A = this chain, B = another copy of it.
Amino acid sequence: MFLGRVVGTLVATQKEPSLDGLKFLVVRRLSVANEDERGYVVAADAVGAGLGEVVMVATGSSARQTRQTDKRPCDAVIMAIVDSWEVDGQEKYNKGTSP
C-alpha cells in the first residue's frame, strides 16, 4: 500500500451505474518522511476519510476488496486512516500532533 494525504474531492454524475453513491477523493502521495510526492490518485473512500487526513491506499484488484468497491471499476481505495508511523525508531507522523 502507499501513504497519501486527502487533498480534494471529485464529482462525476455521468458514470458506470455501479459507482453510484461512491465518494471519490483526490489523494496526493506522501513519502515515508511524510513529505508530499509528485504523484496523485483518485481513490474511492471506504472508511469516511476527510480532507487533510493521512490515509493508506490499496490499488489494483485489491481495491475491490471492500463492501463499497466490490465488483466495481475501481482500482484505488482508501482502506485506512493512519494514526501514526515510525521509521528507524523515529515517529514520522502522528495524527494527534503532526501538521
Chain A positions 56-99 with a Cβ under 8 Å from a chain B Cβ: 56, 58-66, 69, 71-77, 79-88, 92
Q: Closest Cβ of chain B: how far from A4's Cβ, in Å?
A: 11
B80 and A19 within 8 A (CB):
yes
Contacts of A1 in B (CB 8 A): 24, 41-43, 74-76
A60 and B58 within 8 A (CB):
no
Copy count, this protein chain = 5
Q: How would residues 26 to 67 of chain A score, 1 for a CB under 8 Å from any chain B CB and 0 otherwise?
A: 101001100000001111001110000000101111111110
Q: Can you list 22 A-B contacts with CB-CB less than 8 angstroms, sorted by A residue number?
A: A3-B42, A7-B87, A8-B86, A8-B87, A8-B92, A10-B56, A10-B84, A11-B82, A12-B81, A14-B83, A15-B80, A18-B66, A19-B79, A19-B80, A26-B32, A26-B85, A28-B32, A31-B40, A60-B60, A63-B75, A65-B71, A65-B73
